[in-house]
């Protein structure tokens, strides 16, 4: 992906579509954090620092990978799950709503003419990285949606055959 990314109005439209998901109890168990490409170098340096603090020696390729994580697209949207125990709304339903927000975000970016990719890499699950990137207490990242102008035509990866994943119900 490359520049340009969505402008301010397009971002608002994409996020509005992303937020239109099933949400039992109107809890909105998700929120969005926007990371712009100019912030990418700062974020990359901190992610590298956190990664190196883990004690694992990094070669030059891995160091460059960490430094460039938030430079791969003009806009990265962190989708934060705020799903929590609730007296009436199962946690599972809230988590499904968060996943639906991620998928709507991918679809809305595509419908707006942009390429997008939903990634959940190590920094989703590393507490220090998640806190640095904006997760609060009792929150976690569902993933990061990278959005920009495509540099190549999309390609389809192998998917399961419907015959392997679809059945008709019948009473036994």
Q: Domain residue spans in the chain?
A: 8-165
Q: Please report the pLDDT score of residue 52 as a whole number.
A: 92
Q: Give the fold, CATH level 3, of 8-165.
A: NADH Oxidase (3.40.109)
For helices 60-68 and 40-53, the axis angle rounded to 10 degrees is: 130
- Which of 36-40, 42-46, 56-60, 80-84 is predicted with the least confidence, judged by mean pLDDT? 56-60
Residue 84 has pLDDT above 90, yes or no: no
The predicted pLDDT at position 123 comes to 95
Q: Is the pTM of this model over 0.85?
A: yes
Are 144 and 77 in contact by the 8 Å Cβ rule? The answer is yes
What is the mean predicted confidence (pLDDT) over 90-111? 96
Percent of the chain beyond pLDDT 90? 90
For every residue of 66-134, DSSP letters joined together read HHHGGGSSSEEEEEEE-----SSS-HHHHHHHHHHHHHHHHHHHHHTT-EEEEE--HHHH-HHHHHHTT
Stretch 78-98: mean pLDDT: 94
Average pLDDT, the chain: 95
Q: Residue 170: what pLDDT?
A: 94
Token pair belonging to 137: 């207490």
Q: Tens digits of per-residue pLDDT, 2-30?
A: 999 999 999 999 999 999 999 999 999 99
Predicted pLDDT at 108: 98
For position 54, what pLDDT does the model report? Answer: 84
Confidence label for 113 from pLDDT (cuts 50, 70 and 90)? very high
d(CA 23, CA 44): 34
DSSP-assigned beta bridge partners for residue 77: 34, 145
């Amino acid at each position: 992906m490359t520049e340009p990314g969505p402008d301010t109005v397009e971002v608002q439209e994409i996020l509005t579509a992303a937020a239109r998901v099933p949400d039992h109890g109107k809890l909105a168990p998700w929120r969005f954090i926007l990371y712009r490409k100019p912030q990418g170098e700062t974020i990359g340096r901190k992610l590298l620092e956190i990664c190196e603090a883990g004690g694992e020696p990094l070669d030059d390729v891995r160091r460059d990978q960490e430094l460039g994580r938030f430079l791969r697209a003009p806009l990265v949207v962190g989708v934060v799950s705020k799903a929590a125990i609730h007296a009436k709304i199962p946690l599972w339903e809230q988590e499904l709503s968060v996943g639906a927000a991620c998928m709507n975000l991918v679809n809305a970016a595509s419908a707006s003419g942009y390429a997008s990719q939903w990634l959940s890499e190590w920094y989703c699950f590393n507490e220090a990285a998640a806190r640095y990137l904006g997760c609060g207490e009792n929150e976690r990242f569902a993933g990061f949606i990278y959005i920009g102008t495509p540099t190549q035509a999309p390609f389809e990866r192998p998917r399961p055959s419907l015959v392997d994943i679809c059945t008709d119900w019948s009473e036994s």
